[in-house]
Amino acid sequence: MMRSIYILIIFLFFSLRIIAQVNLVPNPGFENFIPGDTFCNAGPIIGTPPWLSPTGASPNCFKECCWNQGWAIPQNTFGFQYTHNGIGYAGFGVYSLP
């Protein structure tokens, strides 16, 4: 019984340590992008290296610098959303009307 209490105390002691994780996502705020109207305003994810679309789908990058209101932040074609951090975020449409 005493041994299980010691194990429980040791387990609780080590589980209470708070350790911050390293952000392994490259370019998480989409700050790095290829400058130019094509990539900043049209919204393809390929304009924000190292992000890409391996399946040929059309994930989009929404940025604050965009003058096209369809891809702007916070109001765009898909809704209203502020960035968590950085100047942009990525999104994709999962449904479209016929």
Taking residues 20-29, report their average pLDDT.
Answer: 77
Q: What's the pLDDT at 65?
A: 76
Euclidean distance between the first and the last CA atom of the chain, given in angstroms as a whole number: 66
Taking residues 62-85, report their average pLDDT.
Answer: 81
For residue 68, the 8-state DSSP code is S
Q: What's the pLDDT at 41?
A: 47
Q: What's the pLDDT at 36?
A: 61
Q: What is the pTM of this model?
A: 0.58
**Could you state, in order of their start, the residue ranges of all structural domains in the chain?**
23-91
